Amino acid sequence: MSLQLRLFISLLVVVMTTGMGFAGDRRAKKIKTPELIDLSGIEVSIEGTLTYERARAYSLPSKKVLDVFEALAGERKIAFSQHDRDRGIFVSKWIPIGEKRFPGLDSPDEIIPIRVRYHVFIPQGIEPARVYINSELEARRRNGQKKMLLYNAGGLEHWLFTELEKVLAESGRALPRDPASRTELFETMVPGSTSGCSQTELLVAGIGNVSNPVLIEEFKVYPIFPAGARDRSARVALQSIVYEDGSVGDPVVIQSNEANPDFDTTSKHTTSFWRYEPARRGDCPVATSWFVIVEYMR
């Protein structure tokens, strides 16, 4: 069966099982948050590399890496508003940005960072260890007082990875996009780590003996409106990969009813924060193609 046909069948299955057209469909909450200002070209636009620059693998056991991260967070006085240690999911409280806490942090000249909230994912029970870091940055332009909210600001994630790797005494390996390359990397780093569960191709959730991934709702991040677009409604459908560890990557917009492309960009950023219980084939967690809708309501 061709991949295109399998994807089409999967989409039909999702429509039938959710009754909403796509899995993971939720309306954006009406919460008061700053509008996103598109700062593409000054280090905060990472479209096309959303997950991968913020995802690294380590040869150490996942529990060891989690323990080191928690100790580092304590030393840096990074407190958590939400956490699930068994799943390895952490959401920090808002952290004021200053030289004492973030020594050596670089930021674009055009903005003044105010505070940051980290989303860290160190999935447990799957080896080798993987670490995913996302951030929400509250900032303002130097030529104005209006605040803005930026997803995945780049330097903040790099800073935290650098601090973590100093303690681990290991440089993380970038995670490949395709399942076969991931399997090869993991076997190189920790021989036998994928024994019995190696994957050579991307699977389609809900087809055959492959289950559907399940969104972990309590850690879901809701979208923010692009600048100047809060008076509009939009609905963006994306096809993504939910990997074997529950992370999300390769978001591709497959349908958008909004002429403003910033809705597509913010939707990609939003879903990069989402975490799942991964799909399974038998007892093995597997990477699957998955469809989601991000909805913006006035």
DSSP helix/strand/coil, 16: helix
- Give Cβ neighbours of residue 211 (< 8 Å, ≥ 6 apart): 205, 279, 280, 281
Q: Which residue has the higher pLDDT, 220 or 169?
A: 169
Q: Any idea which of 27-41, 55-69, 113-127 has the lowest mean pLDDT?
A: 27-41
Q: Any idea which of 90-99, 136-145, 176-185 has the lowest mean pLDDT?
A: 136-145
Percent of all residues in the chain with a pLDDT value above 90, rounded to a whole number: 47
Alpha helices in 112-175 (DSSP H): 155-168
Whole-number Å distance between alpha carbons of 173 and 58: 7
| 205-241 residue pLDDT tens | 999 999 999 999 888 888 878 777 777 788 899 999 9
Check residue 122 and give its pLDDT: 97
Q: Which residue has the tokens 């850690």?
A: 219
Whose CA is closest to 276, among 234, 246, 255?
246
Whole-number Å distance between alpha carbons of 277 and 89: 12
Whole-number Å distance between alpha carbons of 268 and 20: 20
Check residue 213 and give its pLDDT: 97
Check residue 109 and give its pLDDT: 64
Whole-number Å distance between alpha carbons of 153 and 137: 7
Q: Which residue has the tokens 């999967």?
A: 10
Question: Whole-number mean pLDDT of the chain?
Answer: 79
DSSP β-bridge partners for residue 255: 237
pLDDT tier, 6 (very low <50, low <70, confident <90, very high otherwise): very low
- Give Cβ neighbours of residue 221 (< 8 Å, ≥ 6 apart): 119, 136, 270, 273, 274
Check residue 52 and give its pLDDT: 44
Please give the average per-residue pLDDT across 154-180, as a whole number: 91
Q: Would the pLDDT of 76 be above 80?
A: yes
Question: What CATH topology corresponds to 40-175?
Answer: Alpha-D-Glucose-1,6-Bisphosphate; Chain A, domain 4 (3.30.530)
The dihedrals phi and psi of 168, each to the nearest 5 degrees, come to: -70, -20
Whose CA is closest to 265, among 221, 298, 224?
224
Please give the average per-residue pLDDT across 118-126, as a whole number: 95
Whole-number Å distance between alpha carbons of 169 and 244: 26
Q: Would you list the DSSP string of 177-238? A: SSHHHHHHHHHHHSTTTTTTT---S-EETTSTTB---EE-GGGPPPP-PBTT-TT--EEEEE
pTM confidence score:
0.81
Q: Which residue has the higher pLDDT, 112 or 65?
A: 65
Please give the average per-residue pLDDT across 137-149, as a whole number: 78
DSSP helix/strand/coil, 60: coil
Check residue 105 and give its pLDDT: 59
Please state the domain extents for the chain.
1-32+177-298, 40-175
Q: Which of 3.40.50.20, 3.30.2420.10, 2.60.40.10, 2.40.160.40 is the CATH number of 1-32+177-298?
A: 3.30.2420.10
The enclosing H or E element of 8 equals helix 3-18
Query: Quick one: tokens of 101?
Result: 């806490």
| 35-69 residue pLDDT tens | 444 333 333 333 333 444 689 999 999 999 999 99
Please give the average per-residue pLDDT across 193-200, as a whole number: 89
